[in-house]
Amino acid sequence: MGSGAVPGPFFTNIPEHIKDTEMTLTLDQARSIIEHTRAKGREMALKPLSVVVLDAGGHVLAFEREDGAAPGRFAIAHGKAYGAVMLGMAGTAQMARAEQQAYFMAAVNGVYGGQVIPVPGGVLLRSEAGAVIGAVGVTGDTSDNDAEAAMAGIRATGLSGEV
C-alpha cells in the first residue's frame, strides 16, 4: 500500500442505508421540522413536547424542549430517533418487532448501550431515492400523538418520513 493510501474496508463497509449521499439533512431543515412539529402539537393541544432531529449517522442536529416538559425528555426523544436511524426502521415497526421478538430488541438495545426506545414517535427520514437521511424523535404526549406531530413537521418542511 502506497503512502497516504487507505485500505478499502474502511470505505466498503458503509451500511447500505447511509451510502446514498445525494441528500443530507441541513440544520435549517432540522429547525423547520422542530418548529412545525411544535406548532402541530399546539394545534392538537398536546402536552409540552421535546423534539430532536438526528442526521444519518445518529448525531444531533437540533433539539428543543418546550416549557413545562420534563428535563429527562431529551433522552426519550433521542432514544426514539436513534433507534430509527440506527436500525433503518421507524418506531412503529420497532415496536411491532419488539412485540414479536422481544429478545431481538433487547439485544439491539444492549448493542446500543440502552439508547433505543422502540415506540412510535421515532420517525425515519428518507431521501427521494429511499436512503436514510436522519430521524426525528418526539416525546411528551402519547406515542401516537408524538408521531403525528412529527409527521406534520416533516411534511411542512417538504420531506417524507416513516412512522
Quickly state the pLDDT bin for 11 (edges 50, 70, 90). Answer: very low
CA distance 128 to 53: 18
Quickly state the pLDDT bin for 8 (edges 50, 70, 90). Answer: very low
Q: What mean pLDDT is predicted for residues 78-88?
A: 98
Domains in the chain, number: 1
What is the rounded (10 degree) CA torsion for 152, 157, 160, 161? -50
pLDDT digits (tens, 9 = 90+) for 91-101: 999 999 999 99
Give a yes or no: residue 15 inside a domain.
Answer: no
Domain span at residue 54 reads: 21-162
Give a yes or no: residue 14 inside a domain.
Answer: no
pLDDT digits (tens, 9 = 90+) for 14-38: 555 545 455 899 999 999 999 999 9
CATH number for the domain including 32? 3.30.450.150
Decide if pLDDT at 77 tops 90: yes
CA distance 145 to 114: 24
Give a yes or no: residue 147 inside a domain.
Answer: yes
pTM (2 decimals)?
0.86
